[in-house]
Amino acid sequence: MTIMAKEIYVQSHIRWVFQAFRCIPVERGKRDIRAIRTMLDGLAAQEVIGLFPEGGLGRHRVDAGHLGVGYLAIKSGVPVVPASIVWDGPHSVTSMLKTLLVPSKARIRYGKPLQFQQEARPRKESLQTCTKEIMKQIEALRESILSDARA
């Protein structure tokens, strides 16, 4: 399962692809309770959820990460595997079609699983601490990819 912007999901001519990959449409800038419940149900069923805690590729991106990743980690109690993707060459951040059709190389690095204390009602402080640690690990992975590319 992976999450994606609802506006892309509903307007796409390739929605069948998104459905086949079990994409979860999420309304940006809102607490999308349906999407959160779907993700928590998936995690409880031991499914993997792929998400970008930065929240997108364009104007919706927040480098510090959205607290939703912390919420999912703490509420579910499942480990988080941080990952970073660095694109080589052109990569569209504005067009889903270009992203799928224009060839581009990517380097991906995965970190060690992170485990956070489960809370039935996650506190904001816990969410902030968790999200900050996840984003710190993602940034370290990104820097290691870039460092290897310079070597």
Distance (Å) of CA 148 to CA 68, 88, 108: 31, 13, 12
Mean pLDDT of 121-144: 96
Number of domains comprising the chain: 1
- Using pLDDT thresholds of 50, 70 and 90, give the confidence band for residue 93: low
Mean pLDDT of 75-104: 80
| Per-residue pLDDT at 95 | 66
Query: pTM of the entire structure?
Result: 0.85
Mean pLDDT of 15-38: 87
Range of the domain at 127: 2-150
Single out the residue of 127, 130, 126 nearest to residue 138, CA to CA: 130
- Using pLDDT thresholds of 50, 70 and 90, give the confidence band for residue 18: confident
Give the pLDDT confidence of 58-72 residue by residue, as tens digits.
555 678 888 999 999
